[in-house]
Amino acid sequence: MKNALQLAYLVPLFPLLGFLINGLGRKSLSKGAIGVIGSGMILASFVVSLLMFLQVKEGNTIVAEYFNFIHVGKLSIPFAFQVDQLSSIFLLIITGVGFLIHVYSTSYMHEEPTEHFGRYFAYLNLFVFSMLLLVMGANYVIMFIGWEGVGLCSYLLIGFWFKKTAYNKAANKAFIMNRIGDLAFLIAIFWIIGKVGSVGYADVLQFAGDGSFSNKDLMGITLLLFIGATGKSAQIPLYTWLPDAMAGPTPVSALIHAATMVTAGIYMIARSNIMYTLSPVTLNIIAWIGLATALVAATIAMKQNDIKKVLAYSTVSQLGYMFLALGTGSYVAAVFHVMTHAFFKALLFLGSGSVIHAMGGEQDIRKMGGLSKYMKITNLTFLIGCIAIAGIPGFSGFFSKDEILAGAFGKSPVLYGIGLFTALLTAFYMFRLYATTFRGNFRGTHDQEHHLHESPAAITVPLLVLAVLSIVGGYIGIPEYMAHGAHRLSEFLEPVFASSNAIMEKHEISHSTEWMLTGVSSVLIIIVVLAAWKRFSSKPDLQDAEGFGKVLENKWYVDEIYDKVIVQPISRFAGFLTNVVERLVIDGVVNGVGRLVNYSGRQLRLLQSGQVGSYVLLMVFGILVVFVIQFFLRK
């Protein structure tokens, strides 16, 4: 079935239809119908994506042009989709995980009024549509359309419960911080237009591969694109919006703020990999920023008590890992981690949603505890998620994290050391979270205890599916040193990164070193996990943190610093412009001119006495003056 690739347009079309139907019919459709349409459309996309994936697996790719989006002079931007190895992987993640989360949402959001239920699914479908545009676009402009589109949907969904001002502020913050990154992205596009005269991936990457960019151009473009990525993928310095974005419904956090949207930055860099490979300075910067983000976010996560905040910071931290992978040139590892992370982080978020649901909206883990007794499936799947993210051997997170760390070691042992330390922190706070929530004794009210229950099937089935994926997902990327030729993902993605791999200098590490590194890190992680489990099952820290812990609990005060250093000065300056410059200076000048005319008019008016005699007298004087000039002064 070779023509499956011709159906590429169907993939984003289904969610778009779902958006239109649910958006327009949100008042007339029943909740059941809305749920079926919303989820069904994503399922249809998934099926098409799967068919296309099978085609791609056989080596077929396609660039399908549909119409001329913008055509001005020599610049032509077609509305075109590209399906190749990289995008088909992302398509599967987006539609697959997306479908599970839609199913989950039908139950999770069931208490909303029908109208808002419909609105929710419309937004969610619109998000999937935008995300698909982002990864399917065959040029940077289409990617940018999806890029801003997902930003919009994120904004709409974070502020879904629009009556709460704090939520809306979080939504605004997310959109605005993303816009800062978007500006850099845009400028990069303009730069590319100026140099290449086209924005299609094929043209641009070809141009870069030929070495036609100067080093300065390459560095500028790649850095700007990376700044764009820091906005969307929540890296230092633009990461603070992501934890606040947890204001949205939990499935949204799972889909947008963990599994898909935030990985857009990684997709973008992986897509442009040849430009980055040719610009080693940028790669270094990316590696260090990724690592710094991973470390900072992990430290903050240690002291958070809101179940979703912990997961949010862990997402930031894991995204940092992915950037570390990109920065060390292990593009495959980055994509691999995107995939495994999508599985286990979606699982964790959905699990937390199940917990929050059972606890009647409570999100503070200090008021939970001992939930494993009441929620067997949630407990089990959450535990699998924690094991996977911690990187315990055998689970998916182990493989991808191991590959990233190996790549980092190849570049510099310092990167490896900090990376490993961050991994240990991750294991620690994840099991702190798990133990505090599910182990020990229940610490909530009686009322809550009475209501504790396992969630319905629409919630547990997606959890189980994701749990299975979190376990087996890693086996498509078994590292070379364990089994020769077993890294199927790497083989699959080979064509996308071929030109980069050809240029990149390889830091070959011997298999024995790799075994040793893996052994050391695995043992350390398991020790940390056991320690955290033991410590927090028996006595979870319920008090507010003190000393350095307080700094961590308050997120290193980054939000406050941004507020003081950036937001307030701008606001004050704007106030100055409004009250002083606009009102006093500019208006003052204009009104001053008016007043001058008025004043001189009032003075001149006195000449008009109304006495005929005085007029005539003036006239006579005037004539005399003319005479005098005529006769005596004329030369």
Q: Which residues bind other proteins (CB under 8 A)?
A: 67-73, 75, 115, 141, 144-145, 148-149, 152, 155, 159, 162-165, 168-169, 171-172, 175-176, 179-180, 182-183, 186-187, 189-191, 193-194, 570-571, 573-575, 577-578, 581-582, 586-587, 590-591, 593-594, 608-613, 616-617, 620
Contacting residues for 500 by C-beta, under 8 A, at least 6 apart = 273, 274, 276, 277, 329, 331
The Cα–Cα gap between 292 and 286 comes to 10
Is residue 178 within 8 Å of residue 231, measured between CB atoms?
yes
Q: Provide the minimum distance between the beta carbon of 57 and other proteins in the complex, in angstroms, as a whole number.
A: 32
SS3 507: coil
The Cα–Cα gap between 239 and 319 comes to 10
Q: Provide the minimum distance between the beta carbon of 16 and other proteins in the complex, in angstroms, as a whole number.
A: 11
Name which of 125 and 304 has its Cβ closer to other proteins.
125
Q: Provide the minimum distance between the beta carbon of 611 and other proteins in the complex, in angstroms, as a whole number.
A: 6
> CA 490, 493, 496: angle at the middle one, nearest 5?
135
Q: Provide the minimum distance between the beta carbon of 178 and other proteins in the complex, in angstroms, as a whole number.
A: 9
Q: Provide the minimum distance between the beta carbon of 563 and other proteins in the complex, in angstroms, as a whole number.
A: 14
Q: Provide the minimum distance between the beta carbon of 374 and other proteins in the complex, in angstroms, as a whole number.
A: 35
Name which of 601 and 613 has its Cβ closer to other proteins.
613
Q: Provide the minimum distance between the beta carbon of 292 and other proteins in the complex, in angstroms, as a whole number.
A: 24
Three-class HEC string of 115-131: HHHHHHHHHHHHHHHHH
Q: Provide the minimum distance between the beta carbon of 245 and other proteins in the complex, in angstroms, as a whole number.
A: 14
Amino acid residing at 199: V
Name which of 414 and 597 has its Cβ closer to other proteins.
597
Name which of 104 and 185 has its Cβ closer to other proteins.
185
CA nearest neighbour of 43 among 87, 88, 126, 102: 102
Is residue 138 within 8 Å of residue 200, measured between CB atoms?
yes
The Cα–Cα gap between 118 and 110 comes to 11
Q: Provide the minimum distance between the beta carbon of 238 and other proteins in the complex, in angstroms, as a whole number.
A: 12
Q: Provide the minimum distance between the beta carbon of 201 and other proteins in the complex, in angstroms, as a whole number.
A: 18
Is residue 294 within 8 Å of residue 257, measured between CB atoms?
no
Name which of 364 and 582 has its Cβ closer to other proteins.
582
Q: Is the bond leading into 456 cis (omega within 30 degrees of zero)?
A: no
Phi and psi (nearest 5°) for 487?
A: -85, 80
Residue with tokens 């030729």: 485
Q: Provide the minimum distance between the beta carbon of 349 and other proteins in the complex, in angstroms, as a whole number.
A: 25
Name which of 417 and 622 has its Cβ closer to other proteins.
622
Q: Provide the minimum distance between the beta carbon of 590 and other proteins in the complex, in angstroms, as a whole number.
A: 6
Q: Provide the minimum distance between the beta carbon of 92 and other proteins in the complex, in angstroms, as a whole number.
A: 25
Residue with tokens 């504790």: 452
The Cα–Cα gap between 41 and 22 comes to 11
Name which of 54 and 586 has its Cβ closer to other proteins.
586
Name which of 135 and 294 has its Cβ closer to other proteins.
135
For the chain, what is the radius of gyration of the CA atoms? 31
Phi and psi (nearest 5°) for 65?
A: -95, 135
Beta-bridged to residue 82, according to DSSP, are: 63
The Cα–Cα gap between 346 and 466 comes to 8
Name which of 145 and 468 has its Cβ closer to other proteins.
145
Three-class HEC string of 387-424: HHHHCCCCCHHHHHHHHHHHHHHHHCHHHHHHHHHHHH
DSSP character at residue 25 = T
Q: Provide the minimum distance between the beta carbon of 606 and other proteins in the complex, in angstroms, as a whole number.
A: 9
Handedness of CA 404, 204, 151, 62 (dihedral sign): negative
Handedness of CA 222, 130, 326, 425 (dihedral sign): positive
Q: Provide the minimum distance between the beta carbon of 588 and other proteins in the complex, in angstroms, as a whole number.
A: 10
Name which of 256 and 430 has its Cβ closer to other proteins.
256
Name which of 193 and 524 has its Cβ closer to other proteins.
193
Is residue 419 within 8 Å of residue 426, measured between CB atoms?
no
Is residue 112 within 8 Å of residue 361, measured between CB atoms?
no
DSSP state string for 598-622: HHHHHHHGGG----HHHHHHHHHHH
CA nearest neighbour of 403 among 345, 339, 343: 339
Is residue 88 within 8 Å of residue 4, measured between CB atoms?
no
Name which of 164 and 534 has its Cβ closer to other proteins.
164
Name which of 601 and 610 has its Cβ closer to other proteins.
610
Handedness of CA 38, 44, 45, 47 (dihedral sign): positive
Residue with tokens 């992990």: 298
DSSP character at residue 359 = T
Name which of 519 and 569 has its Cβ closer to other proteins.
569
Name which of 190 and 556 has its Cβ closer to other proteins.
190
Handedness of CA 260, 261, 262, 268 (dihedral sign): positive
